[in-house]
Structure 1
Amino acid sequence: MATTGALAPRARPFVGLARPRFGIETFILAGVAVVVGYLVLSPLALLVVTSFRRYDFTGQAIGYAFTLDNYREVFLSGELAAAAWSSALYAGGGTLLAVAFGTALAWVVERTNAPFRTSFTLLAAATYFVPGVLMALGWNALANVRIGTLNRLLQSFVPVTQGPLDINTIAGMTWVFGTHLYPIVFLIMGAAFRTMDPALEEAAALSGAGIWARLRTVTLAVSRPAILSALLIVFVRGLESFDVPLILGLPGKINVLTTEVYSTATLHRPPELGISATLGLILLAVSIAGVYVYRSATARALAFATITGKGYRPQPLQLGRARHVIALVCGVFFFVTLALPLLSVFWLSLFPFVRQFSLDAIPRASFAQYAYVLSYSAMVEAFRNSIINSVLVATVVVLLTSIAAWIAVRSRVPGRAALDTLAFAPIGVPGTIMGVSVLLVYLTLPIPVYGTLFIVTIAHITLFLPYGMRLASDALLRIHPQLEEVSALSGAGWLRTYRAIVLPLILPGLLAAWVTILAASFRELSTSIFLASPQARFVSVIMYTAYTDGNTTAAAALGMVMMLVVFVLAVLARIFSRLVRVAA
């Protein structure tokens, strides 16, 4: 029978399995720790060393000298201070929007009887698969202060010659970021709501609490670890966001830290790699502080454990007639945040040059840009590489972090807190810095992965370790250690207990992690652009290259082709999720 887990004052390591017997269990745990350490420390070590270097590109060989000038320039530069402030506003505002939208949608899908819940899940997944460059292009065509389609429509009712919307502002960038990355919150909160014991809400209802009181005092309170994870992940993703600030910020003369990193590493002549590394270390420090805040806030972790056996049966909340109103609101939300920008991009893709929407232009529309894009023989190879890479990355990250999270949350292994912090650290490293660091690592080490698909796979595994770690940790925190203790008392070893008890119960969280990482890896650009090669092409890099070459409509056409692949991946992920749940 399901009971709540608020039975102890503090989360405690599971004594029975704290030190697995020497054997295969020991090798598995030690191997995971070593792999995570290597993946994270090798590029981070080079990042630290580079931050103290000033490079000299004037000679035939690249020289360098160790110095503190990079740190002086970063902390004394007014431009960098302004970029940091813009980054904080952009990331903070976008995080609040994403958490509000994602949590509300997860509650509707997982805890209510609103219609079309499966469709809402697929639409949220599709939103996350949309590349950031494509979403930014769509909103730029809709809400550009001079030529935006929405502005032209609003000017029929508002007496202005420009605007009133301006997407090339902090507020506009925040809107695009929040409405693009809310699916991260949706997946995290959905896994939490799906496995929460309904007896808690039933008890609140019996005491006279209404729907909104139960949501505030029970549902959201019990889900606090998941909310904190969502806040941390989305906020740091905002700090390292690159595509939206590049497309929307630079035309409005708004620089953030990531565009400064990109400029110093690639646009400056000669490249200022030391400055870029120093900025990367600043973001890394923010992520470590985030881990500390998270661990402090979830110290009383057993207060959030709501699964103590397999007898729980989450029941949807009956909304009555309000369920149709809520479904309508969700439909409008998806139309505004997903359909409008994609329709705008689709319109762009129908013409050889950027053209405003008008009925008169419809006869001139054609699919010539699609034929132009798909005529590249390398395109099929790029799609194949992107799919193979994203599946490999998602699977390896989930396997590694499901065990690393157990070490951090359940064991008494020395250094478990360091492992948790280490696995989360890459979230503070911009993708551009990760790309350069991994490239230099494998140019130095005698491992033949340079110029192949696998160097991108290695970089993405390192980059997305934090997402798997946080989602797996949240799932473990909701499971009371009593289950593992009983298994240990019956004579089962760690591996058998993990496979038979822990894994089935944390599976919803692991599936959420797998889908999240699959989508992120498929559309990732800032790391791939440094590591892709003629022998290992990726769709995101080809699309970005088309945009930077001034062929915006070709980039739009390629993006729409990607949407077809995205839809197939989202459907397959959903089917796989259902099959695994039935099997469990």
Structure 2
Amino acid sequence: MTAVRRLFTRTPLAFPVLALLVFLVLGPLGVLVFSSARLTEGTLPFEPESSWTTQNYAEVLSAGTGAIVWNTLVLTVGALVVAFGVSMVLAWLIERTTFPAKKAVFVMVLASLGIPGFISAIAWAFMFNPTNGVVNVFLRDLFNLAGPGPLNIYTMQGMILLEGLRLVPVTFLLLSAAFRAMDATYEDAGAASGASRPLVIRRITIPLLTPAILSAFVYQLAATLESFDIPALIGLRAGIPVLSTKIFVEIQPTGGLPNFGMASAYGLLLIAIVLVPLIFYQRIVARSERYATVSGNTYRARRVVAGWRTKLFGGLFLGLYLLLDLLLPVLILIWTSLQPFYVPPSAEALSRVSLSAYGRLLTDDFVQQALLNTILLGFLAGVATLTLAFTVSWIVVRSRSRLRSSLDFLAFFPHSIPAIVLGLGVALIYLNIRVPIYGTIWILVIALATRYVSLATRQMNTGIGQVQRVLEDAAAASGASPLQAVRRILVPLVTPSLVNAFLLVVLLSVKNLVFPLILSGRDSVVFSSLIWNLWDTGDTAGTAVLSLVMIVITVALAAGVRRVSPT
């Protein structure tokens, strides 16, 4: 018996799963590499009319690309500075002080997780449009200013602020546990030496939190580099291209035919840029024990007593954040949904308040079909992703297969592929093979399952790893088959992890804008792409109505995730 046959006999399930992951993960990447070397103006990469070329790489390496990369880096770094500045203040208030109503504040900080980024961008456009944005009209009336402005969302500064605020909930989650667990002994020693509180924070607290801050920074850096929603909604109108929107424009130009070869070349460039911080992130995690502060009997977690100044300025800081990120966006969407066309609030506009947009859209057959598609897509993507992730994690954690490390690597690898690039790769595959699913909901399910299998396997690896193997061994000793042991023993015990991962995948799938814009057809339109189309055609009332419906759906899913998540 050959070594390959012995390996297959020992782990028969690992091979088909590995083959499926290779197709799902490496297939799009291979197609991108192939397409990037093809001349595809008005044709597909695999068609005879296409020819080999180095022109795509020459243009990607031209001076014009430098400006796009610079915009991408400026937006990314600026947004991270905003996000970490806000998140560290909030984490310190909630986890390191006796700030009142901490549990309620914690929930409020995370509440905007349920609002998709593209809806926040639409709401901010209503608020900070330089001509008739609500905030600008208010400021001009208050200070008797003339002309447009004084604020303008359609600038790099506006994009940075909005992108930074959208990053706050996840950044806060990444930092809060480290703030909560830090030993107060070191800070006490600094205070006993005569150091002021700001000096203690700067010289002791922040250095001790270095691994948590750096790892969160690098993780969010990779996520922000591939950001699409805000650059697409704000940046395209402002004439500020970044790599993600450049790829999108090459796929769906306003005039002319798609250039898949050029889009593929830009996609490979974006992958290369994203991989750098992810590699750095792995090195940071590997060295995190150098900064450990939780030890034996000397460990002491203590909260700083919040005086009236801390409560006052902390409350104002928190209120400003919630006002900009949650309250004002929702209120302006409600107001816009009640107007036949967008106008700032005024006594005259009150006379035009109407629910007609709700009646027009919520009874429309196409909108109802989009809603059903959205719910169906979220459910199917959740089931497909969790089925694949559970199978991969069981092999990785439970089996002795030599393919475990390969499976784990392939399952995590989609995290390093930007969504816009993965969507392009999936589109190219199914445009060139004779499987008629392009433009249907099934290609969206495949893309979303590929995208989020990395997230689901991280959760399932932990969940399965917490269940001792002896329970399944006992079932096997009683005559149960491996499948029965998994179904009757393991699945019930990891149900909390399964439900949490399922709801999280459903939430992210429903919020996703990139894949529907690239892959959906008329019969598979979902709410995210429908809202984009309404906004693009200037239907402000319809955009606001469907955005509010979308917020209700995603906030409910986010609340479900928090409810079943371990505390």
| Residue 442 (structure 1) aligns with | 430
Q: Name the residue aligned to 1:14.
A: none
Matched, 1:90 2:72: no
Q: Which amino acid aligns with 1:285?
A: A
Match of 2:40 in 1: 55
Q: How does 1:232-311 map to 2 (within 5 A)?
A: 232-267=218-253, 268-303=255-290
Greater Cα offset, 22-31 or 289-298: 22-31
Superposition map of 1:345-494 within 5 A: 345-393=333-381, 397=385, 422-423=410-411, 425-427=413-415, 429-445=417-433, 449-467=437-455
Q: 1:42-121, aligned counterparts within 5 Å?
A: 42-55=27-40, 57=42, 63-76=49-62, 78-109=63-94, 113-121=98-106
Q: Aligned equivalents of 1:405 and 1:224: distance in 2?
A: 27
CA shift, 1:46, in A, is: 0.9
CA distance in 2, matches of 1:409, 1:293: 26
CA distance in 2, matches of 1:395, 1:220: 43
Deviation at 1:358, TM superposition (A): 1.7
Which structure 1 residue ranges, 5 or more long, are not aligned? Answer: 1-21
Scaled by the length of structure 1, the TM-score of the pair is 0.76
SS of 1:165's partner is coil
Greater RCO (Cα-Cα under 8 Å, separation 6 or more): 1
Q: TM-score, normalised by structure 2?
A: 0.78
Paired position in structure 2 for 1:40: 25
- On the 8 A contact 1:144/1:167 being kept in 2, the answer is yes
Q: Does 1:551 align with 2:539?
A: yes
Worse overlay, 335-344 or 384-393: 384-393
Q: Distance in 1 between matches of 2:171 and 2:9?
A: 36
Amino acid at match of 1:83: I
User: Are the equivalent residues in 2 in contact too, given 1:106–1:193 (CA < 8 A)?
Assistant: no
2:141 equivalent to 1:153: no
**Does the Cα contact within 8 Å between 1:98 and 1:178 map onto a contact in 2?**
yes
166, 169, 175: which is aligned to 2:155? 169
Checking the alignment, whether the CA contact within 8 Å between 1:129 and 1:520 is kept in structure 2 is no
Distance 1:452 1:82, change over 3 A: same
8 Å Cα contact 2:183-2:294 kept in structure 1: no
Counterpart AA for 1:47: L
Q: Partner amino acid for 1:282? A: L
- Cα deviation digits, residues 207-266 of structure 1 (max 9, x gap): 4559774797468746725x4453234323332222322332233322222222122211
Moved more, 24-33 or 543-552: 24-33
Larger radius of gyration: 2
> Separation in 2 of the partners of 1:402 and 1:315?
37
1:339 partner amino acid? L
CA contact (8 A) 2:183 2:301 kept: no
Structure 2: gaps (5+ residues): 1-6, 476-481
The corresponding residue for 1:201 is 183
Which deviates more from structure 2 when the two are superposed, residues 162-171 or residues 30-39?
Answer: 30-39
Shift in Å at residue 551 of structure 1? Answer: 1.3
- The answer to whether the 8 A contact 2:126-2:134 is kept is yes
Counterpart secondary structure, 2:131? coil
C-alpha deviation, 1:134, in angstroms: 1.9
Give identity over the alignment, percent.
28
State the 1:422 CA deviation: 4.7
Shift of 1:399: 7.2
Deviations 1:255-309 (A, max 9, x none): 2222221222111512211111100000111222222211222233544779999
Offset, 1:51: 0.7
After TM superposition, the structure 1 stretch with the greater mean CA deviation from structure 2, 26-35 or 153-162, is 26-35
**Residue deviations 1:183-217, cap 9 Å, x none?**
22233334x449x7x4x515435645597747974
SS of the residue corresponding to residue 298 of structure 1 reads: helix
- SS in structure 2 at match of 1:364: coil
1:51-88 CA-to-partner distances (Å, cap 9, x unmatched) read: 111125389x7721111110011112x33321211111
Q: Find the aligned partners of 1:388 and 1:260 in 2 and give their Cα distance.
A: 30
Cα distance in 1, alignment partners of residues 379 and 202 from structure 2? 36
2:4 is aligned to none
2:555 pairs, out of 567, 573, 580, with: 567
CA RMSD of aligned residues (A): 4.6
Pairs within 5 Å for 1:510-529: 517-529=505-517
Compared CA separation, residues 447 and 377, structure 1 to 2 (3 A): same
Query: Aligned with 1:201: secondary structure?
Result: coil
- Letter of the 2:256 partner, please give it: R
How far is the alpha carbon of 1:459 from its aligned partner?
0.4
TM superposition shift of 1:500: 11
Q: Distance in 1 between matches of 2:394 and 2:285?
A: 15
What is the one-letter code of the residue matched to 1:348? Answer: T
- 2:173 alignment partner, one of 187, 197, 200: 187
Conserved 8 A contact 2:154-2:238: yes
Quote the offset at 1:400 in angstroms: 5.9
Question: Quick one: distance in 2 between partners of 1:367 and 1:471?
Answer: 43
Tell me the distance in 1 between the aligned counterparts of 2:202 and 2:501: 25
Deviations 1:8-51 (A, max 9, x none): xxxxxxxxxxxxxx999956776765544332111111111111
Letter matched to residue 251 of structure 2: A
Q: Which amino acid aligns with 1:201?
A: D
- Structure 1 distance, partners of 2:23, 2:407, is 11
What is the deviation of 1:120?
A: 3.6
SS at match of 1:57: coil
Taking structure 1 as reference, are residues 167 and 411 closer, same or farther at Cα in structure 2, changes over 3 Å only?
farther
Amino acid at match of 2:546: L
Which residue type is aligned with residue 220 of structure 2? V
Q: Count the aligned residue pairs.
A: 536
